[in-house]
A = this chain, B = another copy of it.
Amino acid sequence: MSTRTTFQPVLERIAEEIERTPGSGRPADYIPALAACDPRRFGMAVAEPDGTVYGVGDWREPFSAQSITKVFTLALDLSREGDALWEHVGREPSGNAFNSLVQLEYENGIPRNPFINAGALVVTDRLHTRTSDAAGELLAFLRAESGNPELTYDEEVAASETAHGDRNAALGHFMASYGNIDNPVPVLLEQYFRQCSVAASCADLALATGFLARHGIRADGTRLLSRSQAKQVNAVMLTCGTYDAAGEFAYRVGLPGKSGVGGGIIAVVPGHCTLCVWSPGLDERGNSVAGVAALDRFTTLTGLSVF
């Protein structure tokens, strides 16, 4: 089978279908920079393990990666400290809205998983302690994996996040009160908001996710994660990657995935390929409406679900 000839027609068919039945979602509106996005934008890319990449629509247009970056900081920290990370953040689905403080309180400042905001703050905090520059580390990784040296932060978005950052500041101080944050909370928040503000395209992010299809191997052939760790990151993505809709995402799409409020979603078919889809209209749980629909169609048309 030559997947080379397979993915492009599938992507085009999906793009046509999405265009005919545009999603009803709305862009995130908690910061102006995101609210201004046109919800009808749509792009999708598929990257093969060897770096070949296919795409349709706005697949080369940078958008705000937001929570998608949580996958990369998780992998970067995990590659450094290994299982010790899991004493500071759990691996269980949260079963609540993505900003909830409730479980954090009942579980003594240990967030349920690395993909809710509280958990991502812990991961960034730990990566920052180990590298002195968590956001810079992330940027270097994304540039290397995507082969795009111009990939960078969106300073306007970062500033906007900071100005609306009270909820994350509350999470940071709350965990600090349990001793689960190493760096001063304002330092952590600056790192975190820079990380969230990364602007990248579907092509960039599908390529950057490649190590999860290659069982832990980076684009240059060096190993980032052990085979077992790569499997574990995929497992956490499948069970926790789409806020309070992880069950429904697994049910409809059946792939490890991670969404962001910028409207992007990355997904992995272990051993086969990685995907990134973007469309800014979100459903009430913060996931791209057209993005989920496109991934649903992709697994249906190709049979490439993990189930």
- The interface of chain A, by Cβ under 8 A from chain B, is 90-96, 100-103, 105, 112-113, 166-167, 169-174, 176-177, 185, 228, 230-232, 234-236, 238-240, 244-248, 250-251, 254, 256, 270, 300, 305-307
Contacts and interface: CB of A to CB of B under 8 A. Distances in A.
Contacts of A254: 231, 234-235
B177 A173 contact: no
Contact of A169 (B100, B173, B251): B173
Most buried by B among A105, A167, A172, A230: A105
Contacts of A112: 95
B247 A232 contact: no
Given A101-B101, A173-B167, A239-B238, A92 B247 contact: yes
11 contacts: A92-B245, A95-B95, A95-B103, A101-B105, A167-B177, A169-B170, A170-B170, A170-B174, A173-B173, A174-B174, A235-B251
A167 B105 CA distance: 11
A305 B231 contact: yes
A171 to B, nearest CB: 7
Contacts of A172: 170
A239 B270 contact: no
B170 A166 contact: no
Contacts of A251: 91, 232, 235-236
A93 B95 contact: yes
A236 B239 CA distance: 10
B235 A92 contact: no
A307 B236 CA distance: 10
A100 B106 CA distance: 10
A160 to B, nearest CB: 15
Contacts of A94: 95
A170 B167 contact: no
B92 A246 contact: yes
Contacts of A228: 300
B256 A247 contact: no
A234 B231 CA distance: 18
A185 B173 CA distance: 12
